[in-house]
Chain A
Amino acid sequence: MKGVYLGELEELVLLTVGILYPEAYGVAVMDEIEKQAGRSLNISAVHSVLTRLEEKELLSSKMSDPTEERGGRRKRIFLLTAAGKRSLEEAHQMRTQLYNQIPKMALQFQWV
């Protein structure tokens, strides 16, 4: 299936949505990424990643109740789907697996 591969930013956003459960929406995701990863993203970039992930069916969404801080507008709340959770696990597993195969020598830096 096309789209099982996660981009770096996609993975980051996907993780953040998981962290923020059940209050993950555009601005919150943007704030969280800035806080945790120190990366300042534009809101429109976050939006486009979120919609892309939703298209890949890794995220699902629903509209929240209206809030005052947004001038009476609703938020779109994003939730991880089963596929999303699986792809996060796969990515995580792949990394650990790969990491563990690195020879010890390669990680021993000698500061000369």
Chain B
Amino acid sequence: MKIHPPKWADRLLVWYCNPQLLEEIQGDAYELFYRQAKENKPKADFYFIWNVIRFFRWKNIKKRSTKADHRQASFAMIKNILLVTLRNFLRQPGHSLLNIAGLSVSFACAFLILLWVTFEYSFDQFHTDPNQLFSVVTHVKSDGAVQTYHVASAVIDVSSVPEIEKLVSISTGERWPNILCFKPENDSKECVYLNGVYSNENLFSVFNFPILKGDPNPLNQPNNIAISEKMAYLLFNTNNPIGKIIKVDGWQEVVVASVFQNIPVNSSLQFDFALTFSVLKKEWGGNEDRFTENFFSTYLKTNKETIPEQLTEKLNDVRVVTEAYKAQNISYQAVALSDWRLKSKFENGKQSGGRIDYVALFIIIGSVVVIMAVINFINMTTARAATRAKEIGIRKVTGAYRSSIILQFICESFLIVLTAFLFGALLTQFGLPLFNSILGERVSIGIIDGWVPIYLLTLLIIISLLAGLYPAFVLSSFQPVKVLKDQFSAPFTGSQRLRKILLVVQLSVSAGIIIFSGVLYLQLNYVTQKNLGFDRSNMIRVEPTGDLFRNFDAFKNELNKNSSIISVGGANTNPLTTEAGNAGVSWQGKPKDLRITFKTIGCSYEFPETFGLKIIEGRDFKTQPQDTLHTEVLVSKEAVKTMGLKNPVGEIIRMGEAQCVIIGVVNDFHTESLRASRLPVILYRTEYMHTAAIYVKYQPGTTEQSLAALSKAYSQFERNFTMKYWFQDDTFNEIYKTEITSSRLVLLFTVVALIIACIGIVGLASYNVHRKTREIGIRRVFGASITQVMTVLTNEFIWVMLLAVLMASPLAWIAADKWLSGFAYRIDMPWWIYLVTFTLISGITIIIICLQGLKTIITNPTKTLRNE
């Protein structure tokens, strides 16, 4: 066997060397090599490499400029490329459309995600100097765990910290006194409910909420109100209501001092009016202590860019946090405002993500979808190479450089990607409303806003290169002699393997997404179907008001006249969303250092009946007399177990100062979302005046009549307000909003992933059948049945599918298990879902392959074999 110098060095030489000098240089190098190699091969190798390196001189290097005029793509050539692209497109329109459809759908997906991510990142960025804004969170350490609240003391004093320029405390909320009834000037019957904040005079100078009319600093007078443009139109139907009087909550008169621009959607802080704290104090009954003990959302503006850690340190100085709070294990932390939206979750005192997790998840999903589509594109382009091979051969024979063929294919890919891109953009623009409704928010960024076009352009270039480069290099590497002699099958084995690997990746991604979304769906189903221990359907929650309380018995009687209404009761907390616990419960025999949190619900005597609780032991609350208020309690079975009582009925327990007797035991029920474990519950009787909501239970199927009866009775007894109500079912769905939203999104992406995978399988299968046309013909001639031929065709794909599922299953299992672990009540991992997924995917694959193959199989073999 003849010896050769190191191949790579030789190639390197060929690559860089000026072709005119190559022969003599290479010749000399070879001559020296052969001479030395007779004695010592490694030494010869070494010298060869050394010579190749030494030959690398300016004079010997290829000069592009000398040949530039041959290479430049002239106008005629570009015209030719366009023509050829169009012809190829039209030759196999089905294929081409499939290609474009797959790319468009995935682009649309990616664009939507891009818009959403950009939107999420745009939150709170419109303030001036967003880097100098911080929010203060409070960590409370108790029982070894740290609870974090996004508030700080109402009377926090930061005058000792020189960096802090301004501080603003804001009282926000979803209920009274933040959501108030306002009556439009002309029509004083119907309430308009609007959400507002109470704050100090820095609200409009710390944040960038532009004042359109009136006093630029409206909250410097205690009786001023600033209202949004929207509110100005709603109440006064003018944009200049400065100086008008508004009655807050029907009694406190305040003056409209300014009108501010409607708060942008991408602000975490949303409000329609702003009032001063002195109004809030009056709302609360003028209790100064109640105010100073309170905690509000607190934001800081520093006079220079500061590291949050440094600020945190200064906030925990005794002068700021005070001795009293320090003793209660309370500490503050400054958090950059940019984290307000995306990283708001705290776990045991440490920042632990938040929305950013979803953002990351969807960025991954978007990239995966695009990568899958690009893989399809590459697969289909290289698979169709056979039909292009002759064209490339002829081009080369007539003198095309390889580079010009590469350019041609990259241009073709670019054109197809560009078309798909435009379709994708169109789809995005039309799909945005649907996407918004699924998401339940308003992504206010369009495809041509801000930086988005630049992102898109970058994406376009990257994707065209990704999709175009590989096929271009593969296709341009054909040797014209072989191609024109019809021997092109040999160079394809490599890319055939690559195509299968890409298919494995695709199928495993699809399988993974299907499994994960299956688990997600089952768990959500479990959560919504699970018996909470009480009845939540067919129930309306009404916000009570002063006059209603005063005439409550009459109101109730009026309601009970309707046959559709079953029962009316009140409670101070909603059993669906009772977050606060009560650790101050004690009973006889309670170990001293035991700290147990109970959920305590103050309710009217109808509560157990209204919510369908079952009395297991003892008796229900009595209708009368009133003196059983705060002295009789019902406890849940869990509470009995927790307290270790043998005969609970008649036992005395203490809740704070109050001493109560257990009169009965009710069945266990959940008091918040199923993410948290069920806690023991104590129900105590309280008067209507102290309840936060009235619950009206009605007959199934009578929603409309009941609601009509309810609002009629309401307006009869309450003339100042318009009824504000919610359905308990809606509230329930609200609890699992994130999960429901993400399950819908995951479903959407599952469909997209499946579509793209199907397109991929179609492309590959059709290529495979095309390649095996003659084989199928010969098999048929020798008497193989249709089924046998089909088996041959599908066999190749079986291991691809197996591998895909094997790869996807563990990953999907880990991801799904992690998600499930966020629930205290969860389903077991459904193993059958893996089987179903495998069956689904292999079913689809086999069906597609068979459909593609059938056409060729049933063709008369003489036709397929004749062209030899």
Contact = CB atoms under 8 A, between A and B. Distances in A.
Contacts of B185: none
A75 B27 contact: yes
Contacts of B60: 47
Given A26-B24, A47-B25, A48-B59, A73 B54 contact: no
Interface string A24-41: 011100000000000000
B24 A43 contact: no
B29 interface: yes
A70 B59 contact: no
Contact of A27 (B23, B32, B55, B57): B32
Q: Which of B28, B30, B35, B57 has the most CB of A within 10 A?
A: B28
A93 interface: no
Interface in A33-84: 42-45, 47-48, 51, 63, 69-71, 73-76
B30 A71 contact: yes
Nearest to B23: A73
B23 A74 contact: yes
Nearest to A50: B24
A45 B60 CA distance: 12
Contacts of A45: 54
A17 to B, nearest CB: 14
Contacts of A25: 24, 28
Contact of A76 (B24, B32, B34): B24
Contacts of A76: 23-24
B731 interface: no
B27 A43 contact: no
A9 to B, nearest CB: 15
Interface residues of B, number: 19
A26 B28 contact: yes
A48 B51 CA distance: 13
Interface in B4-53: 23-32, 34-35, 50-51
**Main SS of chain B's interface residues?**
helix
A5 to B, nearest CB: 20
A70 B29 CA distance: 8
A81 B700 CA distance: 114
A48 B26 contact: no
A109 to B, nearest CB: 41
Contacts of B25: 47
B418 to A, nearest CB: 46
A44 B27 contact: no
A74 B23 CA distance: 7
B70 to A, nearest CB: 24
Contacts of A71: 26-27, 30, 34
Given A43-B29, A47-B28, A69 B34 contact: yes
Contacts of B23: 63, 73-74, 76
Contacts, number: 56
A42 B24 contact: no
B57 A48 contact: yes
A83 B780 CA distance: 80
Contacts of B28: 25-27, 43, 47, 70
A75 B25 CA distance: 9
A51 B34 CA distance: 24
B24 A74 contact: yes
Contact of B27 (A42, A51, A74): A74
Given A42-B51, A43-B51, A43-B54, A69 B31 contact: yes
Contacts of A73: 23-24, 26-27, 30
Contacts of B24: 25-26, 47, 63, 73-76
Instruction: Tell me which of A43, A48, A51 has the highest count of chain B C-beta atoms within 10 A of its own C-beta.
Output: A43
Interface in B255-302: none
Interface residues of A, number: 18
A34 B727 CA distance: 102
A73 B35 CA distance: 15
B54 A70 contact: no
B52 to A, nearest CB: 9
A79 to B, nearest CB: 15
A74 B24 CA distance: 7
Nearest to B5: A71
B111 to A, nearest CB: 55
A21 B25 CA distance: 20
Given A27-B32, A43-B32, A70 B55 contact: no
- For B27, B29, B55, the residue with the greatest tally of chain A CB atoms inside 10 Å of its CB is B27
B31 A51 contact: no
Given A48-B57, A48-B59, A70 B51 contact: no
B34 A42 contact: no
Contacts of B54: 42-45
A45 B29 CA distance: 13
A27 B31 contact: yes
Contacts of B27: 70-71, 73-75
B31 A70 contact: yes
Interface string B753-795: 0000000000000000000000000000000000000000000
B386 to A, nearest CB: 34
Contacts of A42: 50-51, 54
Contact of B30 (A44, A47, A70): A70
A44 B57 contact: yes
A43 B28 CA distance: 8
Which among B23, B24, B32, B54 has the greatest number of chain A C-beta atoms within 10 A? B24
Nearest to A29: B28
Interface in B653-710: none
B81 to A, nearest CB: 37
A103 to B, nearest CB: 45
A27 B24 CA distance: 10
Contacts of A43: 28-29, 32, 51, 54-55
A48 B59 CA distance: 8
B4 to A, nearest CB: 9
Contacts of B50: 42
Contacts of B59: 48, 51
A76 B24 CA distance: 6
Interface string A1-31: 0000000000000000000000001110000
Contacts of A75: 24, 27
B822 to A, nearest CB: 68
Contacts of B35: 69
Contact of A44 (B26, B31, B34, B51): B51
Given A26-B24, A74-B24, A74-B27, A44 B32 contact: no
B628 to A, nearest CB: 108
B46 to A, nearest CB: 13
A47 to B, nearest CB: 7
Interface in B50-83: 50-51, 54-55, 57, 59-60
Contact of A47 (B31, B34, B55): B55
A27 B51 CA distance: 12
A63 to B, nearest CB: 8
A48 B24 CA distance: 12
A44 B29 CA distance: 9
A71 B60 CA distance: 21
Contacts of A26: 24, 28
A76 B28 CA distance: 10
Given A26-B24, A44-B51, A73-B24, 6 more contacts: A27-B32, A43-B29, A43-B51, A43-B54, A47-B55, A63-B23
Interface of B: 23-32, 34-35, 50-51, 54-55, 57, 59-60
18 contacts: A25-B24, A26-B24, A26-B28, A27-B32, A43-B29, A43-B51, A44-B51, A47-B25, A47-B28, A48-B57, A70-B30, A70-B34, A71-B26, A71-B34, A73-B23, A73-B30, A74-B24, A76-B24
In the A-B complex, the 3 residue pairs with the smallest Cβ-Cβ separation, listed nearest first, are A73-B27, A44-B54, A70-B27
